[in-house]
Chains A and B, each alone.
Chain A
Amino acid sequence: MKKATIYLETLICPSCVQKIENAVKLLNGVDKDSVKVLFNSSKAKFDFDDEKLSVEDAEKAITALGYEVIKSQVK
Chain B
Amino acid sequence: MQKFILSRKNHITLVSAILIAIGFVSKLGFKNEAIAVWALVTASVLGVAPIAIQAYQALKVKVVSIDVLVTIAVAGAFFIKNFEESAIVTFLFLFGAFLEQRTLNKTRSAIKELTEMAPESALKQMENGEFEEVDVDEVDVGDILLVKTGAKIPVDGTVLSGEGSINEASITGESLPVSKEKGSNVYAGTILDNGTIQIVADRVGEDTTFGKIIELVEEAQDSKSKAERFIDRFSKYYTPAVLVLGIIVWLFSRNLELAITILVLGCPGALVIGVPVSNVAGIGNGARHGVLLKGSEVIGDFSRLDTMVFDKTGTLTVGNPSVAEKEYYGDNIDEALGYLASVERESDHPLAKAVLEEIGETSFSPVKNTEVVKGGGITANVNGHRIAVGNAALMKREGIQLSEKAKTDMYRFEKNGNSLVMTSVDGELKILMGVRDRIRPGVKEDLLRLKRLGVKNLVMLSGDNQGTVDVVSRELGLTEAHGNMLPEDKSAYIKKLIDERGQIVAFVGDGVNDSPSIALADIGIAMGSGTDVAIETSDVVLMNSDFSRLPVALGLAKAIVRNMKQNIFIAIGVVLFLLASVFFSEWMNMSIGMLVHESSILVVILNGMRLLRYKLR
Contacts and interface: CB of A to CB of B under 8 A. Distances in A.
B97 A40 contact: no
A13 B97 contact: yes
A34 interface: no
Contact of B58 (A10, A14, A15, A41): A15
Contacts of A66: 2-3, 6, 53-54, 57
Contacts of A12: 97, 100-101, 104
Interface in A4-43: 10, 12-15, 18-19, 22-23, 26, 38-41
B65 interface: yes
B53 to A, nearest CB: 6
Interface string B1-39: 011001000000000000000000000000000000000
Interface in B227-261: 232, 235-236, 239
A15 B63 CA distance: 8
A70 interface: no
Nearest to A25: B61
A20 B3 CA distance: 16
B236 A18 contact: yes
Contacts of B108: 10, 40
Contact of B65 (A15, A26, A40): A15
Contact of B276 (A10, A14, A26): A14
A30 to B, nearest CB: 13
B90 to A, nearest CB: 16
B279 interface: yes
Given A18-B63, A18-B65, A40 B235 contact: no
Interface in B82-121: 97, 100-101, 104-105, 108, 111
Given A12-B101, A14-B273, A65 B61 contact: yes
A65 B57 contact: yes
B226 interface: no
Contacts of A19: 57-58, 61, 63, 65
A41 B3 CA distance: 23
Identify which of A39, A40, A63 gathers the most chain B CB atoms within 10 Å of its CB. A40
Identify which of A13, A22, A38, A65 gathers the most chain B CB atoms within 10 Å of its CB. A13
A60 B512 CA distance: 47
B354 interface: no
Contact of A14 (B57, B272, B279): B272
Given A40-B279, A40-B280, A41-B218, A10 B105 contact: yes
Interface in A33-75: 38-41, 63-66
Nearest to A36: B222
Interface string B207-229: 00000000000100110000000
B66 interface: yes
Contacts of A10: 101, 104-105, 108
B276 A39 contact: yes
Contacts of A41: 111, 218, 221-222
B374 interface: no
A38 B218 CA distance: 9
A34 B105 CA distance: 27
Contacts of A18: 63, 65, 236
B57 A15 contact: no
A63 to B, nearest CB: 8
A60 to B, nearest CB: 12
A6 to B, nearest CB: 14
Identify which of B54, B100, B239 gathers the most chain A CB atoms within 10 Å of its CB. B54
A65 B273 CA distance: 21
A14 B231 CA distance: 11
A19 B269 CA distance: 15
A18 to B, nearest CB: 5
Contacts of B62: 22, 26
Given A15-B66, A64-B57, A66-B57, A40 B276 contact: yes
Interface string B256-283: 0000000000000100110010011000
Contacts of B65: 13, 15, 18-19
Contacts of A40: 108, 111, 221-222, 276, 279-280
Contacts of B218: 38, 41
A15 B269 CA distance: 9
Contacts of B6: 66
A22 B53 CA distance: 17
Contacts of A26: 61-62
B68 to A, nearest CB: 9
B284 to A, nearest CB: 9
A63 B7 CA distance: 12
Interface string B33-77: 000000000000000000001100110011101110000000000
Nearest to B605: A12
A23 B104 contact: no
Contacts of B100: 12-13
Identify which of B65, B97, B235 gathers the most chain A CB atoms within 10 Å of its CB. B65
B316 to A, nearest CB: 36
Identify which of A12, A19, A65 gathers the most chain B CB atoms within 10 Å of its CB. A12
A9 to B, nearest CB: 9
Nearest to B107: A40
Contacts of B66: 13, 15
Contacts of B54: 65-66
21 contacts: A12-B104, A13-B65, A13-B66, A14-B232, A14-B235, A14-B276, A15-B58, A15-B272, A19-B65, A22-B61, A23-B61, A38-B221, A39-B276, A40-B279, A40-B280, A41-B111, A41-B221, A63-B3, A65-B58, A66-B6, A66-B57
Q: 8 nearest interchain CB pairs?
A: A14-B272, A38-B222, A22-B61, A15-B65, A40-B280, A40-B221, A23-B61, A66-B6
Interface of A: 10, 12-15, 18-19, 22-23, 26, 38-41, 63-66
Given A12-B100, A65-B58, 9 more contacts: A12-B101, A14-B272, A14-B273, A15-B66, A22-B62, A41-B221, A64-B57, A66-B2, A66-B54
